[in-house]
Chain A
Amino acid sequence: MTRIKSQLSLKQLFWITFAVLLAVLPQAYRLPMWFLPMTALVVGYRFYAQINQLKRAYNRILIMVAIVALIMIIYSQGFGLSREISVTILITMTVLKLLETYAMRDALLVVMLCYFVTMTRFLYSQDLLLVLYLFGSAFVTTHALAVLNFQRNEKWFDRKQINSTAGSLALAIPFAVLFFLVFPRLGSPIWGSPDIFGEGKTGISDSMSPGSIIELFMDDSPAFRVTFKNDKKPTNNQLYWRGPVLWNFDGRTWSREKQNSTRKTIRQYQPEQVIDYQIELESTGQNYMFGLDYIVDAPKGAFLLPDSMLYAPVKINQLRHYELQSLLLDRFYSPLSDKNETLLLNFPEQQNLKTQALIETWQQDSADPIDIVNRALNHFNQEPFFYSYTPPALEGDVIDAFLFESKRGFCEHYASTFTIMMRMAGIPARVVTGYQGGVDNGDYLLVKQSDAHAWSEVYIQEEDSGYWLRVDPTSMVAPERVEMGSRQIMDQKRNIIDYEWLINFKESMDKYRYQWNQWVRDFNVSKQEALFRAIGIDHRDGKTLALMLAGILMMTILLSLIPIWWIKRKKYHDLQKIYLQLIHLFRKQEVLYGYRTQGIEKFVHKLITLYPNIEVQANHFLKLYLNARYSVNPSHNQQTLAQLNNSLQKIKSLLKEQHAL
Chain B
Amino acid sequence: MIRQLFKRKFNQFINRRGRETVPISFDWRRIYVLPSKPGIFFSIIWFLMMMAGLNFNNNMSLMLVFLLFGLAQVVLHRTFFNLKNLRLEQVKAKPVFLGEPVTLNIQIGADDEKWQIRTDNELSSDVNNITQQTAQLKLLVPSHKRGWQPVERIKFYTRYPLGLFTVWVYCTPDEFILIYPKPESPCPDFPHHGGREGEKPNLKRGDEISGVRDYRQGDPIRDIAWKKSAQGNQIWVKEFNQSQGKNLLFDYSQLSHGSTEFKVSRMTAWVLAAEQQQNEYQILLPEFDSGMAAGEAHKHHCLTALAEYQSGDKP
B32 within 8 Å of A by Cβ?
A: no
| Residue in contact with B59 in the complex, picked from A173, A193, A521, CB distance below 8 Å | A521
Q: Which B43-70 residues sit within 8 Å CB-CB of chain A? A: 45-46, 48-49, 52-70
A175 to B73, CA, bound (A): 9
**Chain A positions 435-467 with a Cβ under 8 Å from a chain B Cβ:** none
Contact A192 B65 (CB under 8 A): no
Q: Are A149 and B162 in contact (CB under 8 A)?
A: yes
CB proximity to B under 8 Å, residues A99-125: 108-109, 112-113, 115-116, 118-119, 122-123
Task: Name the B residues within 8 Å of A495 (CB-CB).
Answer: none
A634–B56 CA distance with the chains assembled, in angstroms? 60
Please indicate the chain B residues that have their CB under 8 angstroms from the CB of A172 in the complex.
67-71, 73-74
Residues of B within 8 A of A572 (CB): 111
Q: Are B73 and A560 in contact (CB under 8 A)?
A: yes
Chain B's closest residue to A629 (CB) is B133
Within 8 A of B (CB), among A112-148: 112-113, 115-116, 118-119, 122-123, 126, 130-131, 134, 138, 142, 145-146, 148
Contact of B288 with A by CB under 8 A: no
Pair B59/A180 contact, Cβ less than 8 Å: yes
Max chain A CB contacts within 10 Å: which of B54, B74, B116? B74
Residue pair B59, A119 in contact (C-beta under 8 Å): no
B106 at the interface (CB under 8 A from A): no
Interface residues of A in 177-229 (CB under 8 A from B): 177, 179-180, 183, 185-186, 189-194, 197
Given the known inter-chain contacts A149-B163, A634-B132, please indicate yes or no for A191 contacting B48, CB distance below 8 A. Answer: no
Contact A149 B159 (CB under 8 A): yes
Identify B70's interface contact among A131, A556, A597, A634, CB under 8 A.
Answer: A556
Interface size on A, residues (CB 8 A): 71
From A134, A185, A186, A560, give the contact of B60 (CB < 8 A). A134
What's the least CB distance linking A283 to chain B, in Å?
A: 13
Contact status A191-B61, CB under 8 Å: no
A571 adjacent to B74 (CB under 8 Å): no
Segment 117-148 of B: residues with Cβ below 8 Å from A: 132-134
Cβ contact within 8 Å between B161 and A146: yes
Q: How far is the CB of B22 from chain A (nearest CB, A)?
A: 8
Task: Compute how far the CA of A149 lies from the CA of B85 in the bound complex, rounded to whole angstroms.
Answer: 22
With CB as the reference atom, state the residue of chain B lying closest to A172: B70
A130-B58 Cα distance, complex, nearest whole Å? 13
The answer, yes or no, to whether B77 is at the interface (CB within 8 Å) is: yes
Q: Is the CB of B38 within 8 A of A175?
A: no
Interface size on B, residues (CB 8 A): 52
**B163 near A145 (CB under 8 angstroms)?**
yes
CB of A603, distance to nearest CB on chain B (Å): 12
Give the residues in chain B near A568, CB-CB below 8 Å.
81, 84, 112
**Interface SS of chain B:** helix
Query: What CA separation (Å) do A569 and B174 show in the bound complex?
Result: 29
CB of B186, distance to nearest CB on chain A (Å) = 41
Stretch at the interface among A163-171, A247-255, A287-295: A163-171
Judged by a CB distance under 8 angstroms, whether A599 is at the interface is yes
The CA-CA distance from A356 to B48 in the complex, in Å, is 65
CA distance A123 to B112 in the complex (A): 44
Q: Smallest Cβ distance from B42 to chain A, in angstroms?
A: 6
Assuming A122-B60, A150-B160, A168-B161, is B111 touching A179 (CB within 8 A)? no
Interface presence of B242 (CB below 8 A): no
Contact check, B78 vs A130: say whether CB atoms are below 8 A apart: no
B25 interface contact, C-beta 8 A: yes
- How far, in angstroms, from A561 to B76 measured CA to CA in the complex? 10
CB closest residue in chain B, given A557: B73
Q: Is the CB of A570 within 8 A of B85?
A: yes
Per the bound structure, the CA–CA distance linking A653 and B135 in Å amounts to 37
Contact of A36 with B by CB under 8 A: no
Query: Is B23 located at the chain interface by the 8 A CB criterion?
Result: yes
| Complex Cα gap A172–B61 (Å) | 15
Q: Judge if B41 is at the interface, Cβ distance under 8 Å.
A: yes
Contact A185 B41 (CB under 8 A): no
Q: Are A126 and B60 in contact (CB under 8 A)?
A: yes
Among B25, B81, B160, contact of A149 (Cβ-Cβ < 8 Å): B160
Whole-angstrom CA separation of A150 from B38 in the bound complex: 14
CA A168 – CA B71 in complex, angstroms? 6
Q: Is the CB of A175 within 8 A of B63?
A: no
How far, in Å, is A106 (CB) from chain B's closest CB?
12
**Quick check: is B12 within 8 A (CB to CB) of the other chain?**
no
Instruction: Provide the residues of chain A in CB contact with B260, threshold 8 Å.
Output: none
- Taking CB atoms, residues of chain A closer than 8 Å to B59 are 126, 180, 520-523
CB of B58, distance to nearest CB on chain A (Å)? 6
User: What is the distance, in angstroms, from B258's C-beta to the closest C-beta of chain A?
Assistant: 44
A67 at the A/B interface (Cβ < 8 Å)? no
A176 touches B67 (CB 8 A): yes
With a cutoff of 8 Å between Cβ atoms, the chain A residues found around residue B85 in the complex are 570
B70:A176 contact, CB within 8 angstroms: yes
> Nearest chain B CB to A441's CB is how many angstroms away?
23
The residue that A186 contacts in the complex, of B55, B111, B164, with Cβ under 8 A, is B55
Besides A109-B41, A520-B63, 17 other A-B contacts (C-beta < 8 A): A112-B38, A119-B53, A122-B61, A126-B58, A138-B71, A145-B38, A149-B116, A150-B163, A168-B161, A176-B70, A180-B63, A186-B54, A191-B55, A194-B57, A560-B73, A564-B74, A576-B111
Q: Which residues of A contact B (CB under 8 A)?
A: 108-109, 112-113, 115-116, 118-119, 122-123, 126, 130-131, 134, 138, 142, 145-146, 148-150, 152, 161, 164-165, 168-169, 171-177, 179-180, 183, 185-186, 189-194, 197, 520-525, 556-557, 560-561, 564-565, 568, 570-573, 576, 597-599, 602, 629-630, 634
Residues of B within 8 A of A (CB): 21-23, 25, 38, 41-42, 45-46, 48-49, 52-71, 73-75, 77-78, 81, 84-85, 111-112, 115-116, 132-134, 159-164
A-B contact pairs, 8 of them (CB 8 A): A126-B59, A138-B64, A138-B67, A164-B161, A191-B55, A193-B56, A560-B77, A564-B78
